[in-house]
A = this chain, B = another copy of it.
């Protein structure tokens, strides 16, 4: 059994091409270990999906069990397949904040949500209102993270409508900042 705090790694990284995903995850795990923390990754679940009647449910239950074990979460909120973060990652963020666990996040994208969605205008192309707060994403995400004492570390890559690539969705310096904050949190509680 690990005695170090367990940190769930949330992000669209699970969908990245194998070689990129493996490299990024190894770096994340090493950085957490340097800070006295242990990573829990959905990719470490050893699931027999071939035999499963409902493979989606098997994956869900395994991820849920990992989150219930974890004491904190670090999320990759870099926009994925649209102007917002990955849907699964957002779900996990809400799930962990409801358990009053510390969560923090990074996005490598420097452009705020309202600029990404509508170039800074008050409404988007469908006429729906765009929050003008200049936050990283929908305010429930930004403020949900802050409400646990966490924060979002922001990168420097400008938004492109086509989105950022998997390679661009990781930044060691940002991740190190979050690992350091998580270590401090658990040392002080």
Contact = CB atoms under 8 A, between A and B. Distances in A.
Interface string A116-154: 010000001111111101010111111110110000000
A102 interface: no
A92 B139 CA distance: 12
Instruction: Give the copy number.
Output: 2
A96 B98 CA distance: 7
A137 to B, nearest CB: 5
Contacts of A16: 128-129
A139 B59 contact: yes
Interface stretch (A22-30, A31-39, A78-86, A179-187): A78-86
A140 B63 contact: yes
Most buried by B among A14, A139, A146, A163: A139
A130 B15 contact: yes
Contact of A81 (B63, B90, B117): B117
A165 interface: yes
A81 B81 contact: no
B56 A87 contact: no
Contact of A17 (B64, B127, B133, B143): B127
A72 interface: no
A166 B127 contact: yes
Contacts of A93: 91, 94
